[in-house]
Structure 1
Amino acid sequence: MSDLRTDTPADGVRRITLNRPEKRNALSAALLDSLLETLREGDRDPGVRVTILRGAGPCFSSGYDLSSSLLDGATAAPGDGQWARQANDTWFSVWDLAKPVIAQIHGYAIAGATELASACDLVYVASDAKISYPVVRVASPPDWQYHTVLLGLRRAMELMLTGDPIDGDEAARIGFANRAYPAESLEASVLRIAARVASVPTDLTQLNKRSVHRAFDVWGARAAIRAGTELQALAGHTASAHTFREDALAAVKRAARPQPGGG
């Protein structure tokens, strides 16, 4: 079974489905390579004007596949901080695509999955989705540090210091997502938006996308995200990170457990 499925649900709209439901669409190196190549194919295909990215099964994605070697085939320079640099290279590759990508999140998106979504141009979530980065509780800051540039100081600080999940409605309210929809209408709503985007000539859409990103770059967003790689690498030398590496998956599961009384 392929780790990705693609279909064309509307004229000019390509849809990519992360297809590892038995692994909760965990992001392995092989899956990420396939995803980037498929997205690049869409950039080269004149029949594609916009791409929707979603997950099969109960969730969008559980994040990086901690049972696999994530640096297989890595192109980032080796040495301290290689993983964070590789993650940045991966997500900026999505960020810098010519044509827009829409993340469609249902169920939950955890850690690396939130990085993937934040690298997309538009993000739509189910109201009951759960968005979280529990790794900040047990190991390190994010590999791709989108929180502050997307959410602002106070919201980013709360999420970084608590690692608590937010639901889809809150994700839309604070700016992680564009909008939240009831779970049962999410797919149709996203497809309607994608078709609206695809109705614009693609040469103009590509310039419109770049104009937003160029302004973001001038404001320093790209440099701010890149600057976080050194702090992520530094975290790898802490006692907490050494403990985390003894059983990373179990540590993330513990950190992601709801707290008594909510969260």
Structure 2
Amino acid sequence: METSHNSDALGSRPAGWREPSSGLYEGRPEPADEATYPTLTYKRDGRVARITFNRPERGNAITADTPLDLAHAIERADLDPRIHVTVVSGRGKGFCGGYDLGIFAEAGFQAESGQHTEGTVLDPVVQARNHIPGNTWDPMVDYAMMSRFNRGFSSLLHANKPVVAKLHGFCVAGGTDIALYADQIICADDTKIGYPPTRVWGIPAAGMWAHRLGDQRAKRLLLTGDCLTGKQAAEWGLAVESCPAENLDERTEALLERIAMMPINQLIMAKLALNSALIAQGVANSTMISTVFDGISRHTREGYEFQMRSMREGFRHAVRERDEAFGDGKTESRSDR
């Protein structure tokens, strides 16, 4: 009896067979395997898409380009029928040190961006004017800017295919807004993970901490600004696995290989099913509220003083002063928000 499924009879393949949807893409050009963006690179490696933050000299700090670059690269992987899983990592000493305070605090919102932002809410002059002590502050101008970053970062969560975040060195402040949107986090034992800006001038705008750690453990970190090690992150359930730094590449590849063995349709269905529970918890609401409070935190008396201190003495000095009383005043990256 003839079958419409190519020339192979149904049931003739081994139960574990894996291949792209038969015939759908036959004769069509393959998507590009590589791309370079202002803040990151993209590369297809077999069934794995590798997105790598590429500002190592600045601790892979976040700029106005980062959310657009990340969302575009994630979509590239999502639409490529050869890709089963995406891994996001960082070049240099760490994953991501947060927003580039050399732009957002020390220099008074002076942009380093490939985007045309003049006359928009991203215009550094507009944001600086909206951040002058004594002037009237428009919180929705602030919200329009920060919610844009969240939309780009949340592409990790809302992508159809699974996304793994590979952390090493440091993943702090705004860097955690990115990583906590990933479906799986794997990290080196000595990775520094946390949100110290809750001590002054910041609330995690993504609002993902309670969803990933539960109420008490999230509060333990955000009520103090303390950080976890990668090993503690795995023990607390924030990371799926941690390992010695020298084994991180090997362990990450093992995880990616196992995920990539699954059919794409199964991966998508499993992620959508599990995301439905996470979204029902109120992720979107948490993000909205947290983004509003993040803006407020930068317009308190203490927040203004921190920014002015950063502009006068440099952000490294201001961060050191902020953290000294907590016993962790040493800065380890170019940014910390």
1:146–1:258 CA distance, 2 compared to 1 (3 A)? farther
Structure 2 partner of 1:109: 171
**2:235 matched to 1:173?**
yes
CA distance in 1, matches of 2:150, 2:40: 22
Partner of 1:49: 84
Q: Once the 2 structures are TM-superposed, how far is the Cα of residue 171 of structure 1 from its aligned partner?
A: 0.9
Name the residue aligned to 2:270: 208
Match of 1:252 among 319, 324, 329: 319
Which of 40, 45, 62 is residue 4 of structure 1 equivalent to?
Answer: 40
DSSP-derived class of the 2:204 partner? coil
Change (3 A) 1:87 1:34: closer
Q: Given that residues 110 and 134 in structure 1 are in contact (C-alpha distance below 8 angstroms), is that contact kept between their aligned partners in structure 2?
A: yes
- Mapped to 1, the partners of 2:204 and 2:236 lie a distance apart of 18
Q: State the distance in 1 between where 2:324 and 2:259 align.
A: 38
RMSD between aligned residues: 2.7
* Larger displacement relative to structure 2 (204-213 or 227-236): 227-236
Which structure shows the higher helix fraction? 1
TM-score w.r.t. structure 1 length? 0.89
Question: Hey, what's the Cα distance between the residues in 2 that align with 1:259 and 1:190?
Answer: 33
Q: Quick one: distance in 1 between partners of 2:253 and 2:288? A: 32
Contiguous gaps of at least 5 residues in structure 1? none
* Greater Rg by CA: 2
In 1, distance between residues paired with 2:280 and 2:326? 40
* Cα distance change, pair 19–256 in 1 and its aligned pair in 2 (3 A): farther
Task: Name whichever of 200-209 and 141-150 sits farther off.
Answer: 141-150
Is residue 306 of structure 2 the alignment partner of residue 239 of structure 1? Answer: no
Q: Secondary structure at the match of 2:65?
A: helix
CA contact (8 A) 2:322 2:329 kept: no
Decide which of 222, 245, 255 is 1:193's aligned counterpart: 255
> What amino acid maps onto 1:117 in structure 2?
A
Query: Take 1:243 and 1:50, find their aligned partners in 2: how far apart are those partners?
Result: 44
CA distance in 1, matches of 2:98, 2:83: 27
Cα deviation for residue 80 of structure 1 reads 4.1
* Change over 3 Å in CA distance of 1:253–1:176 after alignment to 2: farther
Residues matched between the structures, number? 262
- Normalized against structure 2, the TM-score is what? 0.71
Fraction of identical pairs, as percent = 30
Out of 284, 287, 296, which is 1:225 matched to?
A: 287
Partner of 2:96: 61
When residues 75 and 95 of structure 1 are mapped into structure 2, their CA distance, relative to the original with a 3 A threshold, is farther
Letter in 1 for 2:69: S
Q: Offset at 1:140?
A: 2.5
Cα deviation, residue 31, structure 1: 3.2
Q: Is the 8 A contact 1:87 1:143 kept in 2?
A: no
User: Which string of whole-angstrom CA distances, capped at 9 and with x for unpartnered residues, describes residues 141-191 of structure 1?
Assistant: 112111112111211111111111110011111122111111111111111
Aligned residue among 118, 137, 147 for 2:199: 137
CA deviations 1:182-206 (Å, max 9, x no partner) are 1111111111111111111101101
